[in-house]
């Protein structure tokens, strides 16, 4: 039985890298960047005016001139004009600085009469005032984005500014989620007293979507060996990643491990020394598909999905790893030895900015209602059994 760390390493080592594809900017949000993005031009590409007002020569102002005949008007997007000595150009925010001008006076500090702009008598100015210098943000050719990041709206702006209508990204993995069990009934269908609602599959799909993995479909298969084999084989042929929920323990109806073996899926490990989620199974299909068989109890399913499946998909997509996070316990925690404990938690911050963890104890690994309002879970290592208030431990956000 592997430790949680060993299971993570085994999964990461077995994952196959996703191919790349070119997508338009409209389709790039949430995708993993697979190329560098360099600045097309200096930014800003010209001395940019930062205020509506007038553009003047500071030397004229410094010599005592306060009334400036308006030579012309220049809007954002207009070619730069040339300013004559002793005059002003009416200027708009975002315009390029007129040639010969080196000072902007805001419109709020001037009055205009008969096309003459007069600056307030007590106004103080300075050379290069309200001018965003060319190249002061970055210069042409600067690497703005590196491969491995998940593209955000801010990154879309950067890619567009680099003049790229398309961008290379990781192909989205094709994922199939399978719920197993005779007792499961979908929401909206009639349910008998001895049955339960099917919640794991929809929750796993939602978690995948939350992490921007959207090519997902869900299937429900009853505990019938032949049906399991037929459906799983179909999904193995159409997906890069197959995620099963239930059927991996030691019961007579837990057919999943044997069915997977019959289909040529090679087991990498079965069982992890952790709570919840000890029965988890992982293997690699005949065409290098990643197959995750998660325990059926809802808390176990969600923890295992977040702890192992999401990082595995990130690795396959060539996502740059995030820095680890930590939180400080607000109460003592004691648990069974020799098992890594994944403990749901709510988070708050104190005045010093420390992230504080308030553990949420579930009644059982089936008590998924207790997870509402939690921010993630804490990782309490198997080498210890008692963690005192104030102890800092690893944090995993959902």
364 vs 224 pLDDT, higher one: 224
CATH classification at residue 214: 3.40.980.10
For residues 191 and 304, state if they share a domain: yes
Q: For the ranges 64-78, 151-165, 320-334, 361-375, which has the lowest average pLDDT?
A: 361-375
For residues 194 and 178, state if they share a domain: yes
For residues 215 and 226, state if they share a domain: yes
344 burial level (CB within 10 Å; 0-12, 13-18, 19+):
buried
* 97-133 b/e (C-beta count within 10 Å ≥ 16 → b): bbebbbbbbbbebbeeeeeebebeeeeebeeebbbbe
State the average pLDDT for the chain: 96
Dump pLDDT digits (tens) for 108-122: 999 999 999 999 999
Helices (H), 278-383: 298-304, 310-316
Residues 132/156, Cβ–Cβ less than 8 Å: no
For residues 188 and 210, state if they share a domain: yes
Give percent of the chain above pLDDT 70. Answer: 99
CATH classification at residue 128: 2.170.190.11
For residues 222 and 295, state if they share a domain: yes
For residues 201 and 312, state if they share a domain: yes
Cα 358 from Cα 331, distance rounded (Å): 7
Mean pLDDT of the 9-26 span: 98
For residues 342 and 383, state if they share a domain: yes
Q: State which of 316, 339, 363 marks the end of a domain.
A: 316
Please determine, for residue 192, whether its predicted confidence score (pLDDT) is greater than 70: yes
- Residue 309 has which token pair? 């499946």
Residue 250 has a pLDDT of: 67
Please determine, for residue 363, whether its predicted confidence score (pLDDT) is greater than 90: no
Q: How confident is the model at residue 365 (pLDDT cuts 50, 70, 90)?
A: confident
Mean pLDDT of the 274-300 span: 96
CB under 8 Å, gap of 24 or more: what pairs does 114-120 form? Answer: 115/69, 115/70, 116/67, 116/68, 116/69, 116/70, 117/54, 117/67, 117/68, 117/69, 117/70, 117/88, 117/90, 118/66, 118/67, 118/68, 119/61, 119/66, 119/67, 119/68
CATH classification at residue 337: 2.40.340.10
Task: Determine the structural domain holding residue 331 and report its residue range.
Answer: 325-397
Mean pLDDT of the 186-206 span: 96
Q: State which of 316, 348, 367 marks the end of a domain.
A: 316
Cα 247 from Cα 279, distance rounded (Å): 10
Residue 113 has a pLDDT of: 97
Residues 83/104, Cβ–Cβ less than 8 Å: no
Cα 119 from Cα 88, distance rounded (Å): 11
255 φ/ψ sector (left φ>0, alpha ψ -120 to 50, else beta):
alpha
pTM of full prediction above 0.75: yes
Dump pLDDT digits (tens) for 153-165: 999 999 999 999 9
Q: State which of 71, 106, 132 marks the end of a domain.
A: 132
Dump pLDDT digits (tens) for 22-74: 999 999 999 999 999 999 999 999 999 999 999 999 999 999 999 999 999 99
For residues 178 and 217, state if they share a domain: yes
For residues 91 and 189, state if they share a domain: no
For residues 127 and 160, state if they share a domain: no
Please determine, for residue 304, whether its predicted confidence score (pLDDT) is greater than 90: yes
Q: Shortest CA distance to 309 belongs to which of 378, 374, 244?
A: 244
Number of domains in the chain: 4
- Give the distance from CA 66 to its chain's centroid: 53
- Residue 365 has which token pair? 């690994």
For residues 33 and 151, state if they share a domain: yes
For residues 308 and 365, state if they share a domain: no
Mean pLDDT of the 110-137 span: 97
Residue 382 has a pLDDT of: 87
Q: How confident is the model at residue 391 (pLDDT cuts 50, 70, 90)?
A: very high
Dump pLDDT digits (tens) for 221-268: 999 999 999 999 999 999 999 999 988 876 666 899 999 999 999 999
Q: Which residues partner with 270 through β-bridges? A: 281
Cα 2 from Cα 273, distance rounded (Å): 6
């Amino acid at each position: 039985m592997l430790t949680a760390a060993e299971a993570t390493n085994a999964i990461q080592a077995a994952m196959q890298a996703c191919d790349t594809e070119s997508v338009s900017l409209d389709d790039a949000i949430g995708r993993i960047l697979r190329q560098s993005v360099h600045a097309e031009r200096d930014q800003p590409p010209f001395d940019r005016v930062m205020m509506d007002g007038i553009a003047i020569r500071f030397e004229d102002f410094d010599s005592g001139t306060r009334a400036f005949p308006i030579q012309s008007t220049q809007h954002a997007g207009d070619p730069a004009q040339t300013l004559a000595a002793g005059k002003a150009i009416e200027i708009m925010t975002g315009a390029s600085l007129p040639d010969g001008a080196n000072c902007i006076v805001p419109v709020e500090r001037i009055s205009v009469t008969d096309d003459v702009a007069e600056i307030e008598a007590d106004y103080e100015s300075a050379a290069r005032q309200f001018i965003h210098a060319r190249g002061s943000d970055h210069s042409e050719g600067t690497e703005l984005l590196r491969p491995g990041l998940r593209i955000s709206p801010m990154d879309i702006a950067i890619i567009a500014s680099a003049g790229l209508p398309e961008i290379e990204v990781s192909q989205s993995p094709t994922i199939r989620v399978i719920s197993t069990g005779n007792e499961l009934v979908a929401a909206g269908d009639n349910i008998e007293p001895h049955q339960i609602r099917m919640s794991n599959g929809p929750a796993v799909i939602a978690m995948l979507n939350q992490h921007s993995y959207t090519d997902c479909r869900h299937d429900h298969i009853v505990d019938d060996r032949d049906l399991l084999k037929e459906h799983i084989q179909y999904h193995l042929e159409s997906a890069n990643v197959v995620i099963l929920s239930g059927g991996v323990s030691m019961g007579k109806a837990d057919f999943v491990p044997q069915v997977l073996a019959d289909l040529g899926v090679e087991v990498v490990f079965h069982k992890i020394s952790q709570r919840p989620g000890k029965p988890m199974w992982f293997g690699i299909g005949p065409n290098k598909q990643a197959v995750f068989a998660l325990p059926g109890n809802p808390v176990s399913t969600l923890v295992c999905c977040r702890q192992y499946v999401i990082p595995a998909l990130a690795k396959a997509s060539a996502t740059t790893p995030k820095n680890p996070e930590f939180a400080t316990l607000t109460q003592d925690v004691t648990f069974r030895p020799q098992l890594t404990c994944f403990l749901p938690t709510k988070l708050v911050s104190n005045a010093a900015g420390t992230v504080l963890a308030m553990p949420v104890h579930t009644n059982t690994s089936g008590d998924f209602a207790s997870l509402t309002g939690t921010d993630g879970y804490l990782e309490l290592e198997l080498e210890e059994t008692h963690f005192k208030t104030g102890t800092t431990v690893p944090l995993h956000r959902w």
